[in-house]
């Protein structure tokens, strides 16, 4: 197998026919041995039916049907686990990632790179809030981690079998695939493109899922937040010490003291806030630690037309 295309699907019934047609015409023109892997991530519409129809008609279409919605990153992971291609493309189903870019990605990969990611030159049809938060997130992450995770890139990319094999050795529960791929290293490069609007349907990424992905990215690839908690603890304690000296001075030397309601309230609220933030940060790491200790399988497959020995994967 030369090329596997991994397509996570969550309520994409309106996009699947066009997506498949466009992918097919691009890949047919490349004259490679290809497989299409659709992962149905607990869709509540007719997506599963559509991809099962495709799989029944075409021998190179595979599907993986999850037992429920496990999330985009896990869906992509399942696709990577069960892919067999020498090169693997990860692409969104909503046509925001143009299939027509795949030959370019593939061509670059053939020049001796192990990863070619697609970098967004511009993005259309997304709310200002989403663009702003995404930009902010990529830059914060870049500034607090040692590995260089490229800014303004999603998971649309092509990777070699070497990279897939390396990814399979990374058992973390909280996946942030673009970070993991950066962590792996090798020669990486990019191709720029203009990100289109979602062709139809609605985004499956709610703000809740986005915040979770952002926290997975940060906690998975940086300890800086923990250090910030520690440092702010020291800074606040230092300030508190100075205030204490002043209080003692005012009480015993200057004799100039008042029943200080305002200052008490301010310091209690401030200290309480700092402590809660610090505990919250520790909690985020701890929650992920405990998820990894449980060692549950990352996903449960309800059915698939790919022959696999076991239907689940234990890290």
- Helix, strand, coil percent values for the chain (each to nearest 5): 50, 15, 30
The yes or no reply on residue 217 touching ligand UDP (CB under 6 A) is no
Q: Are the CB atoms for 177 and 167 separated by under 8 Å?
A: yes
What count of other Cβ atoms lies within 10 Å of the Cβ of residue 192? 13
Backbone angles phi, psi at 247, to 5 degrees: -60, -45
Contact 47, 283 (CB under 8 A): no
Q: Whose CA is closest to 274, among 284, 262, 282?
A: 282
Interface with ligand UDP, residue 203, by CB under 6 A = yes
Per CB under 6 A, 133 contacts ligand UDP: no
Stretches 22-30, 53-61, 93-101, 177-185: which one binds ligand UDP (CB under 6 A)? Answer: 93-101
**CA distance readout (Å), 185 to 46, 114, 180:** 39, 9, 9
Using CB atoms, what's the residue nearest to ligand UDP?
204
Q: Binding to ligand UDP (CB under 6 A): which residues in 35-64? A: 41
Cα(179)–Cα(175) distance, rounded to whole angstroms?
9
Residue with smaller CB distance to Mg ion, 204 or 217 = 204
Contact between 8 and ligand UDP per CB under 6 A: yes
**DSSP label of 62:** E
Contact with ligand UDP (CB under 6 A) among 4, 65, 83, 96: 96
Q: How far is the CB of 92 from Mg ion (least distance, A)?
A: 5
Instruction: Name which of 73 and 222 has its Cβ closer to ligand UDP.
Output: 73
CA distance 83 to 52: 18
Single residue of 75, 80, 118, 281 touching ligand UDP by CB under 6 A:
75
In 10 A of CB 212, how many CB atoms? 15
Instruction: Examine residue 174 and tell whether it contacts ligand UDP (CB under 6 A).
Output: no
What end-to-end distance do the CA atoms of the chain give, in Å?
25
**Binding region for ligand UDP (CB under 6 A) out of 68-76, 80-88, 117-125, 223-231:** 68-76
Asked if residue 114 binds ligand UDP (CB under 6 A), the reply is no
- Could you say whether residue 81 binds ligand UDP (CB under 6 A)? no
Least CB distance from residue 122 to ligand UDP, whole Å?
14
Residue ranges in contact with ligand UDP by CB under 6 A: 8-10, 12, 41, 69, 71-72, 75, 92-94, 96, 198, 203-205
């Amino acid at each position: 197998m030369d090329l596997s295309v991994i397509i996570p699907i969550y309520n994409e019934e309106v996009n699947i026919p066009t997506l498949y047609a466009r992918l097919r015409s691009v890949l047919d023109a490349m004259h490679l041995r290809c497989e299409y892997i659709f992962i149905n991530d607990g869709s509540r519409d007719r997506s599963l039916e559509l991809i099962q129809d495709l799989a029944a008609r075409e021998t190179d279409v595979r599907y993986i049907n999850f037992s429920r919605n496990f999330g985009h990153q896990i869906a992509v992971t399942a696709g990577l686990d069960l892919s067999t291609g020498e090169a693997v493309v990860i692409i969104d189903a909503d046509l925001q990632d143009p299939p027509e870019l795949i030959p370019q990605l593939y061509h670059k990969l053939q020049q001796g790179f192990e990863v070619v990611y697609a970098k967004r030159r511009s993005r259309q049809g997304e709310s200002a809030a989403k663009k702003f938060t995404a930009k902010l997130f990529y830059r914060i992450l870049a500034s607090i981690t040692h590995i260089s995770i490229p800014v303004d890139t999603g998971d649309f990319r092509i990777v070699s079998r070497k990279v897939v094999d390396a990814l399979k050795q990374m058992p973390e529960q909280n996946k942030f695939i673009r970070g993991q791929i950066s962590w792996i290293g090798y020669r990486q490069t990019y191709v720029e493109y203009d990100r289109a609007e979602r062709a139809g349907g609605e985004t499956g990424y709610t703000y809740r899922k986005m915040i979770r992905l952002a926290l997975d990215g940060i906690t998975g690839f940086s300890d800086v937040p923990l250090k910030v908690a520690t440092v702010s603890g020291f800074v606040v304690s230092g300030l508190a010490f100075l205030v204490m000296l002043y209080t003692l001075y005012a009480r015993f030397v200057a004799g100039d003291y008042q029943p200080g309601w305002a200052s008490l309230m301010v310091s209690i609220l401030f200290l309480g806030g700092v402590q809660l933030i610090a505990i919250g940060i520790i909690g985020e790491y701890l929650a992920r630690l405990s998820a990894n200790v449980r060692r549950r399988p990352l996903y449960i497959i309800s059915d698939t037309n790919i022959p696999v020995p076991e239907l689940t994967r234990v890290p």
